[in-house]
Structure formats: C-alpha cells, structure tokens
Copies of this chain bind each other. A is one copy, B any other.
Amino acid sequence: MIFAGSHILSVEQFSRADIEQIFAVADSMEPYALRKRVTRVLEGAILGNMFFEPSTRTRVSFGCAFNLLGGEVRETTGFKSSAIAKGESLYDTARVLSGYSDVICMRHPESGSVAEFASASRVPVVNGGDGANEHPSQALLDLYTIQKEVTAKRGSMDGLRIAMIGDLKHGRTVHSLSRLLALYDNIEVVLVSPEELAMPERYVDALRSAGHKVVISSELNHSISRVDIVYSTRIQEERFESKEAADVYRGRFRLNQSIYTEFCQPNTVIMHPLPRDSRSDANELDNDLNQNPNLAIFRQADNGVLVRMALFAMILDVVGQVEAHSREVNWYHRRNGM
C-alpha cells in the first residue's frame, strides 16, 4: 500500500493517483465513522498526538480517527512546559517521543519544524500543521469535500470552478488547496481578496503554468456567480496597515443568504476551513446560511475524520484488514447521516 511507513508532511508529496487512492480509502471508512460498524484493526497501536500548539478540533479529530480504527491515543497540548521550550532540539524530542508510539501526529508553531522532527523520528509522522507552512490533512479534507459535493452534481473534478475568498495572502489552507487543485485538469480559480491580501504570485503562477485559469478580483458578488464552490476564509483586520485600510474592505467579503440567493448558482457549495468567527466584526459566513443545504462546512469537518482514518490506515498498512476486524455497533447511534 502506498504510504506504508511514510511521513505525511506536505501536499507536494501527493500525485493525483495518490489522492484518488486516499479518497477511495476514506470512502471505505464511512461505515465506521457513521457508527454502522466498529473496527478494531489497530487495537493495541498507539498514536502520539503531539500538539505543541493548541488546536482542539484538529487534535480531537486526529485522536478520534485513531480511536475509530481501534487504537489508543497519548497526547500533549501546549508548548510552554515542554522540553523543547527548555532548549531541547527537535532531533532529541523526535528520538525520544518516537519510542513511545507507532505513529505521531505533530503540530508545532514553527514552519519546517515537523519535517525536521520527522527526519529524526523512528516512526511515521503526520504533519498536523507547522506554522504558516503546511497542514496537509486539511488540504486533503477540503479537496475530498469538493469531490464529494461536486461529483454528484457535475460528474468530475476536472473543469471545476472555485472562488477562494478572504485573506489569500496568509491563508495556509487556500495555498495548499491550490497546490492540490493544480493536479486536476482545466480548473478555474477565482481569487477574491483585498489587494493587500492577494494570493502570493508563486501559487498563481503554479496554477497558470499547469494550464489552469486564474481570475483575480477584489469584488465578491460577481466573482461567485459562475463557480461550483465558494471557499471562504476569514480576513483578520489586524492584517491591514491601518484601520482606515481595513475599513475600506469591511464587510465586502462576507457571504449571507441574500447575497447567495442573488448571485450564486442554485447549487454552489459553500466551504470554510473553520472555525468560523461569528462575532459582528468578522462574520465571513453569516449564520443565516445555516439552513442552506449547500453549506458544506460541517460536512468538511466530518470528512476530516474520514481522511485522517484513511491516512492512518495507509501509513500503518492495515487498509485490507479493516473489515476483517469489524463488527456491528451494539450501542445507540445517531441515525441521521454526517
């Protein structure tokens, strides 16, 4: 199986074929995530869930994915009291911690730290986010969500049209997602942001040189009228040079139901990496979208569990054994889907 014993550090390491295989495995995880069946395939295995930067939902999502495969989770949260904070090298930390588990998921505030850690680890390492750099499982779950949402509607990922909205300069998720989208054919990406927060040129160039169409805009409404996917991210106002600069754009990238009704296609899917800031000065996706069946933000989070289960099953090379170690669920479980 691909990725058996491998680190998962960057979206750059995936081919389109790799991704299709990951997504096929993710699909096969659905009965376990939906609690139709239980599998114990990783009973006795240990995940070291090492979060040197807090991120409740990513941490719990990884831990839950490992539990759903039958494994145990040991974890840490925070950095201040860690040995790293006391001057230990990432090399030492990795040598030690990799003696404690079968696979490690690591999050760390510093760009490049997880790769450095992985190079000294004796067990496979999954990058759970290293600063501004990478968060590959987030990119995979975004792409997996896009595929699930649009293939029913349009049959294929190729030819997809997607608008990315908000802070495209600092947004790790849109950078990684654009890398993955470039692996498909004939994608159209509409980049909607204030000029100050535009997508860095290297990502734009990479898309264009792979033959995709990139449209750049600083106006929301007409940018979302022809797309299959609206991928919204938060604009943090402190990113601007001055309050005045921020005020110019205040509210211009916020989507709500009336804008959706007026400008979007009837089936346009709305995504967001979450958390969505519901305070009045943020509110990039209004709560009045909550009843819109095309709001896919919570399905995104659910898909994260499937993708992470797939990664663990592939890294630990148990994909073919999952079903053989499974049985019916014997407790009450939600009947409604994810």
Contacts and interface: CB of A to CB of B under 8 A. Distances in A.
A166 interface: no
B334 A122 contact: yes
Contact of A318 (B54, B64, B99, B331): B331
Interface in A105-134: 122-124
Interface in A22-65: 35, 38-46, 48, 54-57, 59-61, 63-64
A331 B102 contact: yes
Contact of A331 (B55, B302, B317, B331): B317
A103 to B, nearest CB: 9
A82 B21 CA distance: 33
Which of A68, A70, A93, A330 counts the most chain B CB atoms within 10 A?
A: A330
A67 interface: yes
A202 interface: no
Q: Looking at chain A, what size class is its interface with the partner chain?
A: 35 or more
Contact of A42 (B70, B282, B331): B331
B99 A338 contact: yes
Contacts of A333: 102
Interface stretch (A8-16, A71-79, A217-225, A239-247): A71-79
Nearest to A80: B54
B86 A277 contact: yes
A331 B45 contact: yes
A81 interface: yes
A332 to B, nearest CB: 4
Nearest to A55: B81
Contacts of A55: 81
A201 to B, nearest CB: 30
Given A42-B331, A57-B97, A274-B96, A74 B81 contact: no
B48 A278 contact: no
A179 interface: no
Given A35-B102, A68-B46, A332 B316 contact: yes
B41 A96 contact: no
Given A46-B67, A72-B73, A89-B278, 9 more contacts: A5-B334, A38-B43, A44-B329, A55-B81, A64-B74, A73-B74, A87-B279, A87-B282, A95-B298
Lowest 7 CB-CB distances: which A-B pairs, in order?
A54-B81, A38-B44, A83-B275, A87-B277, A88-B275, A316-B331, A317-B332
